[in-house]
A and B are shown apart, each in its own frame.
Chain A
Amino acid sequence: MTRVSIEVNGTVEELDVPPRLLLADLLRDRLGLTGTKIGCAMGACGACTVLLDGAPVRACLMFSVQANGRSVRTIENLANEAGELHPLQRALREHHGLQCGYCTPGILMAIAPLLESGQPLEPDAVREAIAGNLCRCTGYDTIVDAVVEASRP
Chain B
Amino acid sequence: MKPSAFEYLAPETCEEALGALAEHGDDAAVLAGGQSLIPMMNLRIAAPRVLIDVMRAPELRGIGNAGGRIEIGAGVRMAQAERESGVALMTAALRHVGHPAIRNCGTVCGSVAHADPAGEVPAVLLALDGEVVLRSLRGERSVAADDFFLSYYSTAREPDELVVAVRIPSASPPRVAFREVTPRLGGSTGEFATAGVAATAEPDDLGRWRRVRIALLGVADRPVRAREAEALLTGVEPTNDAIAAAAESAATTVDPPSDVHAGPDYRRRAVRVLTTRALAEIAS
A–B contact, 8 Å CB criterion (strictly below): yes
A131–B97 Cα distance when bound, in Å, is 12
Give B55's nearest chain A residue, CB to CB. A66
- A56 with B100: CB separation less than 8 A: yes
Which residue of B2, B31, B105, B189 contacts A57 across the interface (Cβ within 8 Å)?
A: B105
Query: Could you mark each residue 32-73 of chain A with 1 if its beta carbon is under 8 Å from any beta carbon of chain B, else 0?
Result: 000000000111001001001001111011110110100000
Q: List chain B residues, Cβ under 8 A from A62.
A: 34, 38, 105
Chain A residues positioned under 8 Å from B39 (CB to CB): 41-43, 61
Query: B42 and A131: CB pair below 8 A?
Result: no
Residue A18 is within 8 A (CB to CB) of chain B in the complex: yes
**Cα distance A131–B188 in the bound complex, in angstroms:** 8
Which of B6, B38, B101, B105 lies in contact with A132, CB distance below 8 A?
B101
Considering residues A62, A65, A132, which has the most beta carbons from chain B within 10 angstroms of its beta carbon? A132
- Mask: chain A, 2-38; 1 = CB below 8 Å from B; 0 = not: 1000000000000000111010010000000000000
Contacting pair B34 A66 (CB below 8 A): yes
Known contacts: A52-B104, A56-B104. The answer to whether A41 contacts B190 by CB under 8 A is: no
The answer, yes or no, to whether B4 is at the interface (CB within 8 Å) is yes
Q: Assess whether B30 is interfacial by the CB under 8 Å rule.
A: no
Among B5, B100, B101, B104, point to the contact of A20 (Cβ < 8 A). Answer: B5
CA distance A133 to B101 in the complex (A): 10
Residues of chain A within 8 A of B188, CB atoms compared:
131
CB of B53 closer than 8 Å to a CB of A: yes
Contact of B63 with A by CB under 8 A: no
Q: Apart from A57-B101, A61-B35, A61-B42, what are 5 other A-B pairs with CB-CB below 8 Å?
A: A46-B101, A62-B38, A66-B55, A131-B190, A133-B99
Bound-state Cα–Cα, A62 to B261, Å? 28
In the complex, A88 has a CB within 8 A of chain B: no
Q: Which residue of A lies closest to B5 (CB)?
A: A20
Report the bound CA distance from A41 to B53 in whole Å. Answer: 20
The number of residues on chain A lying at the interface, defined by a beta carbon within 8 Å of a beta carbon of chain B, is 29
Q: How far is the CB of B83 from chain A (nearest CB, A)?
A: 12
Contact status B189-A128, CB under 8 Å: yes
Tell me whether B101 and A56 are in contact (CB under 8 A).
Answer: yes
Contacts of A128 in B (CB 8 A): 189
Contacts of A49 in B (CB 8 A): 101
Report B101 CB to chain A, min CB distance, Å. Answer: 4
| Complex contact A61–B51 (CB within 8 A) | no
Q: Please report which residues of chain A, range 51-99, place their CB below 8 angstroms from some CB of chain B when the two chains form the complex.
A: 52, 55-58, 60-63, 65-66, 68
Among candidates B7, B31, B189, residue contacting A66 with C-beta atoms closer than 8 Å: B31
Whether A19 contacts B104 by the Cβ 8 Å rule is no
- State A132–B102 Cα separation when bound (angstroms): 9
Rounded to whole angstroms, the CA-CA distance of A32 and B82 in the bound complex is 35
Determine whether B98 belongs to the interface, using a CB cutoff of 8 Å to chain A.
yes
Q: Is A147 at the interface (CB under 8 A from chain B)?
A: no
State the Cβ distance, B182 to closest chain A Cβ, in Å.
11
Q: Is A150 on the interface with B (CB-CB < 8 A)?
A: no
The reply on A144 being an interface residue by CB < 8 A is no
* Chain B: CB-nearest residue to A56: B101
Q: Find chain B residues with CB under 8 A from A46 CB.
A: 99, 101
Asked if B152 lies at the interface with its beta carbon under 8 angstroms from chain A, I say: no
Question: Across the interface, do A20 and B4 meet the contact criterion of CB distance under 8 Å?
Answer: yes
**How far, in angstroms, from A42 to B102 measured CA to CA in the complex?**
10
Within 8 A of B (CB), among A117-138: 128-129, 131-133
- B1 CB–A CB distance under 8 Å: yes
Interface residues of B in 35-59 (CB under 8 A from A): 35, 38-39, 41-43, 51, 53, 55
Judge if B159 is at the interface, Cβ distance under 8 Å.
no
Return the 9 tightest CB-CB contacts between A and B, nearest first: A132-B99, A19-B8, A42-B39, A41-B1, A56-B101, A41-B42, A55-B104, A61-B38, A20-B3
- Determine whether A143 belongs to the interface, using a CB cutoff of 8 Å to chain B: no
Shortest Cβ gap from A60 to chain B (Å): 7
